[in-house]
Structure 1
Amino acid sequence: MASIDEAKEVYGQIGVDVDKAVETLKNVRISMHCWQGDDVLGFDSKELTGGISATGNYPGRATNPDQLMADMKEALSLIPGKHKINLHASYAITDEKVDRDKLEPKHFKAWVDFAKENGLGLDFNPTLFSHPKAADNLTLSNPDKEIRDFWIAHCKASRKIAAYFGKELSMTSLNNIWIPDGYKDVPADRFGPRKRLKEALDEIFTENYDGKYLADSIEGKVFGIGVESYTVGSHEFYMNYAAKNNKICLLDTGHFHPMEMVSDKIPTMLLFNKNLALHVSRPVRWDSDHVILLDDELKEIAKELVRCDALNRVFIGLDFFDASINRISAWVVGMRNMEKALLLALLTPHKALKKMQDEGNFTELMASMEELKTYPFGAVWDYYCQVQGVPQKKEWFKEIKRYEREVLVKR
């Protein structure tokens, strides 16, 4: 295998600066989702509802805040770079009984302390599922005003909490709204629920926060379990709402038709929006949230972020939950793969390839893109891991097995 010096020489011949690529990647923060560690259960509910399902019963699931934080810290020790943690409101840490519409920043102080101790940022999501008032998969679009008002209050509280994160950590916190609302069978009224959702969002966003601390995003979905025929918060609804109201549209890679490519949507969204947000997952026939692999679509997503010079405009978060394998390993594989994809994109001579396309040199373009696939990327990745002080290749898995043996199986 090529050494890092040989890799630098090979990439240098096509105009790629390896050191610059590594330095750029070092400053990209990916938001690692807390819910992989405990199968999306959170701390305020015993049951997962809302069209979401985590399958498997691998031993060692985190069951309390201390265990979840310990598992996150273990995972982060094997992942190069400094990142963020993506929290759901259901992960509040408090001794008092408080419903979601009454949540306050103080209920998340322990998470802020954890972030400060580990050099992390925090993102946030109101939790509009796994709750008695979301039993019918109708929250912000519910015909019952009392239920709508409850969830509006929850989303307002969530924005305040996210702004608190941003201010405390001096790092913009993304607050992302996703709702499970929809109908199992063909609806009699498609307009009404979306009108109620629009009005609810208008109310949620009435208070202005400093953009240095809080960024607001909204996330659509094509369908979900229990709402197969109609989803209130569709991509088209949120894309239009975001454009009109200066909000960020979040694209979840599992929330589209299986034949749609999210990578193809990225440049269009960036053309018309200052910012974009991603939840990167791996759908297998539907929104099944498998651990992301270094597959073609992940590589294309990363290429578009780099080609569009958008690494400082896009909030990158991961979203998968697999309970059939070691949960910490799932985090490490997913996070390292996202970084690998970004590094591959940073090692691509995009200007030269674009020139070939613009000049109609499609034969050379195809040949060049194919040859790049066997360039010594692996040597550069190992070098990046080395300078970041984390294990190279599969060496990290030895630590996973030790932690499983000494910690997880004893829970």
Structure 2
Amino acid sequence: MTNDQITTAYQQAKSVFEKYGVDTDKAIEMLKTTPVSIHCWQGDDVKGFESPELELSGGIQTTGNYPGAATTPDQLRADMDKAFSLIPGKKRVNLHAIYIDSDKHVERDQIKPEHFSRWVEWAKQNDLGLDFNPTLFSHPKADDGLTLSHPNDEIRQFWIDHVKASRKVSEYFGRELGSTSFMNIWIPDGMKDQPVDRLSPRKRLMESLDKALEEKIDGAYHKDAVECKLFGIGAEAFTVGSNEFYLSYAATRNTALCLDAGHFHPTEVISDKISACSLYVNDLQLHVTRPVRWDSDHVVSFDDETQAIMREIVRNDLLDRVSIGLDFFDASINRIAAWVIGTRNAQKALLKALLEPTAELKAAEESFDYTTRLGLMEECHSLPWAAVWDYFCLQNEVPVGFDWMKDVKDYEATINATR
């Protein structure tokens, strides 16, 4: 379509939404200013740059061998630059500690802000916020499947010190960029078969977290988040950091709670948890991903759950309390395309939620008119939201529709193919 055709279609869609009391210009502005935290680890299959000999462990598994993975920080940043040029709206970048950009090896308990200064300079040049994660997997001191809950004092202290060091990096991001950095703590701790003692590891984890997070840091620069999980590869029978553990920890320690869409039973969804958790936890961080039968972290699609997640945020007016992040890694397809597909789908779902006539739906529900509620909810699916999305892309000077794929293929042929 031409620019004039896209604009005309938008004006027509705008008039349709007005009949439902929806201001499309306002929805576009909210979408434009709501950042999505895009995970760096899609670009290199979660290998990082700490050591070329690093082997994935802790239940982390990437499948596929599509050519062109980033092997240096500069390559990864260039790949993200390309992806971001095809994604509209406000963006953040989510880094793990293994994405250190240093000229020499630095052990994880010794990382410092200076080892991530090149990431900060890049973020400043591109108007990006940065988030952070300590990396408590793929390391010899995590080979037992336990880290912060390990019974060995020395190993446990190593990981406590790593989390402490990571918090200073996160604070540095927030201060330098003027945007709060969420630092999410996920650990692989668990057991393959049924344990005899579930309490002791959880007690050690609680005490380790208390020690790691004891220093008060200004929330304007840094916020701690803890991430729950049901099970993992090698931890099928018991996960120390369960949903109940971390929800309780976040509620009693005033940390943020991270809900990952793949960390629960196959039929259990995080969309239903958002409102419940918001009553007890002030800040929520989401890892929007697509589990297929298990925590497989497929590229986010425009599926029912992704749409339901965004509706829950919008319907309950939680945009200022929820950090929307992505978490998937697929090495079977072009990695830049994966970022573009997944992020644009998350944004489409958010826009569709912003275009919902929430006031009318709530009025019907509050008057027990469930017939109108159901009918209107279903009608919303076929409203011309796609015309609004196309106009949003046009405004943000990114390709409309599937035109972005040509850019990806050109980059693959000229850049990725040379690696």
Query: How far is 1:147 from its partner?
Result: 0.2
1:363-378 aligned at under 5 Å gives the runs: 363-378=371-386
With normalisation by structure 1, the TM-score equals 0.99
- Of the structure 1 ranges 121-130 and 368-377, higher mean CA displacement relative to structure 2 is found in 368-377
The equivalent residue for 1:100 is: 108
Mapped contact 2:262–2:296 kept (Cα < 8 A): yes
1:293 is matched with which residue: 298, 301, 325? 301
Distance 1:74 1:306 in 2: 30
1:69-84 aligned at under 5 Å gives the runs: 69-84=77-92
> Which digits, 9 at most, give the CA deviation of each residue in 1:257-302, with x for residues without a partner?
1111110000111122221110111000100000000000000100
Q: Secondary structure at the match of 1:175?
A: strand
Mapped pair 1:340 → 2:352: no
> Which digits, 9 at most, give the CA deviation of each residue in 1:170-198, with x for residues without a partner?
00000110000000000011000000000
1:376-391 aligned at under 5 Å gives the runs: 376-391=384-399
Query: How far is 1:354 from its partner?
Result: 1.1
Distance 1:52 1:321 in 2: 10
Q: Secondary structure at the match of 1:106?
A: helix
2:279 is matched with which residue: 271, 293, 306? 271
1:170-181 aligned at under 5 Å gives the runs: 170-181=178-189
Letter in 1 for 2:297: D
> Which digits, 9 at most, give the CA deviation of each residue in 1:229-273, with x for residues without a partner?
000011110000110111111100000111111100001111222
1:128 is matched with which residue: 125, 128, 136? 136
2:38 is matched with which residue: 10, 32, 52? 32
Letter in 2 for 1:297: E
The equivalent residue for 1:182 is: 190
Distance 2:49 2:196 in 1: 37
Distance 1:261 1:255 in 2: 9
Letter in 2 for 1:101: D
Mapped contact 2:50–2:106 kept (Cα < 8 A): no
Q: Secondary structure at the match of 1:343?
A: helix
> Which digits, 9 at most, give the CA deviation of each residue in 1:122-160, with x for residues without a partner?
000000001110111110000110000000000000001
1:216-235 aligned at under 5 Å gives the runs: 216-235=224-243
The equivalent residue for 2:223 is: 215
Distance 2:399 2:410 in 1: 14
Mapped pair 1:57 → 2:65: yes
Letter in 1 for 2:365: Q
The equivalent residue for 1:197 is: 205
Q: Structure 2 regions of 5+ residues with no counterpart?
A: 1-5
Q: Secondary structure at the match of 1:272?
A: coil
Distance 1:81 1:190 in 2: 45
Q: Secondary structure at the match of 2:323?
A: strand
The root-mean-square deviation of aligned C-alpha atoms, in Å, is: 0.9
Mapped pair 1:16 → 2:22: yes
Letter in 1 for 2:413: R
Distance 1:104 1:219 in 2: 23
> Which digits, 9 at most, give the CA deviation of each residue in 1:288-327, with x for residues without a partner?
0000000000001000110111111111110000000000
Letter in 1 for 2:301: L
> Which digits, 9 at most, give the CA deviation of each residue in 1:353-373, with x for residues without a partner?
011112111112111111111
Distance 2:316 2:277 in 1: 11
The equivalent residue for 1:66 is: 74
- Tell me which stretches of 4 or more aligned residues in structure 1 moved more than 4 Å: none
Distance 2:159 2:281 in 1: 27
Mapped contact 2:50–2:105 kept (Cα < 8 A): no
The equivalent residue for 2:3 is: none
Mapped contact 2:170–2:183 kept (Cα < 8 A): yes
Identity within the alignment, %: 58
Mapped pair 1:403 → 2:411: yes
Distance 1:43 1:274 in 2: 34
Distance 2:265 2:13 in 1: 39
Q: Secondary structure at the match of 1:3?
A: helix
> Which digits, 9 at most, give the CA deviation of each residue in 1:335-363, with x for residues without a partner?
10111011000000111101111211111
With normalisation by structure 2, the TM-score equals 0.97
The equivalent residue for 1:43 is: 49
Letter in 2 for 1:163: E
Q: Secondary structure at the match of 1:107?
A: helix
Letter in 1 for 2:23: D
Q: Secondary structure at the match of 2:26?
A: helix
Q: Secondary structure at the match of 1:215?
A: strand
Letter in 2 for 1:327: R
Distance 2:135 2:71 in 1: 18
Mapped pair 1:3 → 2:9: yes
Mapped contact 2:262–2:294 kept (Cα < 8 A): yes
- Aligned pair count? 411
Q: Secondary structure at the match of 2:130?
A: strand
Distance 1:272 1:137 in 2: 30
